[in-house]
Structure 1
Amino acid sequence: MKLGDGVEQAIHSVLLLCGLSPTGLLSAAAIADFHGVSTSYLLKHLQPLAAAGILQSVPGPKGGYRLGRAPDDISLLDIVLAVEGPEPAFRCAEIRQRGPAPLEARFFKTPCAINVAMLKAEQAYRAELAKVSVADLLNGIDPETGEAIATRTCAFFKDHERNRHKE
């Protein structure tokens, strides 16, 4: 299975926003700049994250994005479903019923064994993603890497974080 680049960008964007002050915001352009990605492409993923309540979008020239929920309350599955949609990766098109000499309809009353296996794998994949929260990812960083990330993000936030003192 291949997930789009937007999933990686979305997860990293959510992790970045975890470091903001409680009233802080980052513009989509700043988030894109931090990750070295296209702002217009990133926006296509930030918007569904906001629609799902994972992020909060504050409109206006001084607006931006911040977390919409606590890191403990955001799973990797939440992010993947917001970006990729809820449909399973495999969608059976029942091609076994096509061709020059298809079997009679009575042979297709039970689900296709391929579809059953693929959906079972999808359920396992989703269950694993649901077990991992954004907080788990943050807590799983080794101290040396965590320090390097903190240094980088603190310097970036100093120049790019927008504070909202009145809600």
Structure 2
Amino acid sequence: MRMGEGVEAAIHCVTLLAGLEEGATLPASALATYHGVSQSYLLKHLQALAAEKLLESVPGPRGGYRLARRPERISLLDVVLAVEGPCPAFRCAEIRQRGPGALEPAAYVKPCGINTAMLKAEQAYRAVLAETKISDVVAGYEADADPRSIAFGCAFLARHQRPQAASSRKEQE
């Protein structure tokens, strides 16, 4: 089972956005630069995350992206489903009912054992993804990463984040 590369990019973007100051945004161009991917490639994943209300897309000169929920309220499964969609990764095509040894459809009353096993495995990995929050990923990174990497990320955010506009701050007060 293989997830698209967009899942990795999306999770990395969400974890980086978790480090923004309250109300600040980060432009898609900065996210693309930070992760070494093309902006056009990344935009479709950012838009999918925004459509699922994991990210907020803020238009205008102070615009960009920011988390729409707190990091402890976003699971890895939320991100995976936003990018990949809700369909199971394994899709049984019932090939056991094809070929020279295939029987009549009535002979296949029981579900395909391979499909059953694959769906069970998918349920297990989705359960782990659902219980793993972005805040857990960030905390693990902060505990284990090379301090130079953390310093670079913090400096990058400080340089590229766009502070909340003054009128928006007054509206929230």
Same fold (TM over 0.5): yes
What amino acid maps onto 2:110 in structure 1? T
The within-5 A match list for 1:14-93 is 14-93=14-93
Distance 1:27 1:142, change over 3 A: closer
Change (3 A) 1:104 1:143: closer
Structure 1: distance between partners of 2:144 and 2:106: 62
Structure 2 gap ranges (5+): 169-173
What does the per-residue CA deviation read over 1:48-78, in whole Å, with 9 as the maximum and x for residues that have no partner?
Answer: 1111111111123431100011110011111
2:13 is the counterpart of 1:7: no
Q: What secondary structure sits across from 1:33 in the alignment?
A: helix
Structure 2: distance between partners of 1:98 and 1:123 = 28
CA offset digits 1:81-112 (Å, max 9, x no partner): 11111110100111122224520121122211
1:6-31 Cα offsets, whole Å, 9 max, x none, are: 11111110010011111110111110
Other-structure match for 1:119? 119
By how many angstroms is 1:5 displaced? Answer: 1.1
> Which TM-score applies when normalising by structure 1?
0.92
Q: Distance in 2 between matches of 1:67 and 1:30?
A: 15
**How far did 1:147 drift?**
3.8
Tell me how far apart the structure 2 counterparts of residues 24 and 146 of structure 1 sit (CA, whole Å): 26
CA contact (8 A) 2:142 2:150 kept: no
Cα distance in 2 between the residues matched to 1:3 and 1:149: 26
SS at match of 1:66: strand
Partner of 2:95: 95
Inter-partner Cα distance in structure 1 for 2:24 and 2:150:
16
Would you say how many aligned residue pairs link Structure 1 and Structure 2? 167
Unpaired segments of 5 or more residues in structure 1? none
- 1:146: Cα distance to partner? 6.5
Cα distance in 2 between the residues matched to 1:136 and 1:114 = 33
Q: Which residue of 2 aligns with 1:130?
A: 130
